[in-house]
Amino acid sequence: MRFPKKKICLVLSFHDKAVQYEWLVQSINRDKFELMFVFLNPGGSYVENFVKQAGLRNYRITYNSKKDLPNAIWQLLKIFKSEKPNAVHCHLFDANIAGLTAAIIAGIKKRIYTRHHSTLHLDYFPSTVKWDKYCNSLSTHIVSISKSVTDVLVEKENVPANKIHLIHHGFKMDDFENVSSERIDSVKAKYNYADAKTVVGVVSRYINWKGIEYIVDGFVKFHQSFPDAILVLANASGSHSNVIREHLNQLPSTAYREIKFENDSPALFKSFTYFVHTPVDALCEAYGQIYVEALAARTPSVFTLSGVANEFIKNNYNALVVDYKNSNEIYEALTRLSTETELADSIKSNGYNSVINEFSFDKFIRKTEELYS
């Protein structure tokens, strides 16, 4: 007996390039599910163009800020009444508010949102927490991207545990395995570190809770012992830029590179000798996909435990773990990786083995299809 397809409407706000949705479109069982998209964006985007080229139904609602919420809710309500999706799945804050509100008015019984932040609002924007609780109450299912997020939802926002579904982000691991030397060399040449013997990589926006200034200070000490080393900071922009650049002033300009954005993420990670990611506490990172990406690229790494790292990172096994806000421990960890070859090789191998199956996209798509069913 053949059952009718379930129509799933994804509502996204402020998205541009987002490879996870491309993979979702390519991988979901088209015999069981029909995807459609609504974009809340100021204009067109990469992901919108991808969806159009894939031949999926899609709408764009012009959206610039919260003042556009009433119109977005009204437009979404009209779309839902016309399209009659079986489920609505919202991603990011504005889409959550608008999409869930319109969905409940439209009488859609399955209302899903993915929680992409952890304690961000609780710690830095307390007046916004009421809107998180509003979305929690309107949803029938919440996708938690890590156990840390689940803990925040249950313990700090009183969400019933049976409403929460833990689905880790998934990755196409072959993308990190099958990277040509030409692509790696191209990234190195583009940013002028092709001749560097040791490249310490960071991939984080310049935000205070990412802990980048502690990495810089640790690298300053490391550079004194290894003067040929170069620090590469990717996604190098954000509200904490002035503070981080004050710390960078301790280094000669030849000792670091700042990269606004590099599209070839696998090649970037593989261009690093070591990778460092040190958020300032256990919960500030909701997920932290770069934990997984660095290990998938077989790059020996130095981490603090935050987000998904709390679930699988083990010190001296698949990474070196340092304390929060501790530049001296970052320096010591980089020194160990540089001087203890067997340790670095072991971490590289164990790190890759830790992520290859646990965070595969196949596992993500299976859990997502179960949720939609």
Give the separation between CA 190 and CA 258, rounded to whole angstroms. 12
Kindly give, in sequence order, each residue whose CB lies less than 8 Å from that of residue 216, ignoring residues fewer than 6 positions away. 231, 244, 247, 248, 250, 251, 327
Cross-strand partners of 89:
10, 112
Q: Contact 90/96 with Cβ under 8 angstroms?
A: yes
Range of the domain at 12: 6-172+360-372
Kindly give, in sequence order, each residue whose CB lies less than 8 Å from that of residue 55, ignoring residues fewer than 6 positions away. none
User: What six digits make up the tokens of 33?
Assistant: 């599910």
Instruction: Please tell me whether residues 317 and 365 are part of one structural domain.
Output: no
Instruction: Please tell me whether residues 252 and 200 are part of one structural domain.
Output: yes
Measured over the CA atoms of residue 346, residue 348, residue 351 and residue 355, the dihedral's sign is: negative
In a domain, residue 1? The reply is no
Instruction: Please tell me whether residues 25 and 70 are part of one structural domain.
Output: yes
| CA neighbor of 123 nearest in space, from 311, 282, 304 | 282
In a domain, residue 334? The reply is yes
Instruction: Name the CA dihedral angle for 236, 238, 241, 247, rounded to a multiple of 10 degrees.
Output: -60
Instruction: Please tell me whether residues 200 and 143 are part of one structural domain.
Output: no
| CA neighbor of 355 nearest in space, from 289, 304, 305 | 289
Instruction: Please tell me whether residues 28 and 163 are part of one structural domain.
Output: yes
Element housing 181 (H / E): helix 181-190
Q: Contact 77/57 with Cβ under 8 angstroms?
A: no
In a domain, residue 246? The reply is yes
pLDDT tens digits in sequence order for the chain, 373 residues long? 566 889 999 999 998 878 889 899 999 999 999 999 999 999 888 888 999 999 999 999 999 999 999 999 999 999 999 999 999 999 999 999 999 999 999 999 999 999 999 988 988 889 999 999 999 999 999 999 999 999 999 999 999 999 999 999 999 898 898 899 999 999 999 999 999 999 999 999 999 999 999 999 999 999 999 999 999 999 999 999 999 999 999 999 999 999 999 989 999 999 999 999 999 999 999 999 999 999 999 999 999 999 999 999 999 999 999 999 999 999 999 999 999 999 999 999 999 999 998 899 999 999 999 999 9
Give the separation between CA 349 and CA 261, rounded to whole angstroms. 28
Instruction: Note the pLDDT of residue 2.
Output: 61
In a domain, residue 346? The reply is yes
Q: Contact 305/148 with Cβ under 8 angstroms?
A: no
In a domain, residue 259? The reply is yes
Q: Contact 21/49 with Cβ under 8 angstroms?
A: no
Instruction: Note the pLDDT of residue 371.
Output: 96
Instruction: Please tell me whether residues 261 and 127 are part of one structural domain.
Output: no
Cross-strand partners of 110:
87
Instruction: Please tell me whether residues 152 and 248 are part of one structural domain.
Output: no
In a domain, residue 364? The reply is yes
Give the global pTM. 0.90
| CA neighbor of 176 nearest in space, from 272, 18, 296, 348 | 296
Instruction: Please tell me whether residues 239 and 108 are part of one structural domain.
Output: no
Instruction: Note the pLDDT of residue 266.
Output: 94
In a domain, residue 195? The reply is yes
Instruction: Please tell me whether residues 244 and 318 are part of one structural domain.
Output: yes
Cross-strand partners of 60:
39
User: What six digits make up the tokens of 22?
Assistant: 């491309």
Instruction: Please tell me whether residues 204 and 322 are part of one structural domain.
Output: yes
Cross-strand partners of 198:
229
Give the separation between CA 114 and CA 92, rounded to whole angstroms. 7
Kindly give, in sequence order, each residue whose CB lies less than 8 Å from that of residue 271, ignoring residues fewer than 6 positions away. 184, 187, 188, 193, 199, 201, 232
CATH number at residue 289: 3.40.50.2000
Q: Contact 225/335 with Cβ under 8 angstroms?
A: yes
Q: What are phi and psi of 314, to 5 degrees?
A: -125, 125
Q: Radius of gyration of the chain from Cα atoms? A: 22
Give the separation between CA 232 and CA 227, rounded to whole angstroms. 14
Instruction: Please tell me whether residues 140 and 260 are part of one structural domain.
Output: no
In a domain, residue 164? The reply is yes
Instruction: Please tell me whether residues 197 and 161 are part of one structural domain.
Output: no
Q: How many domains does the chain have?
A: 2
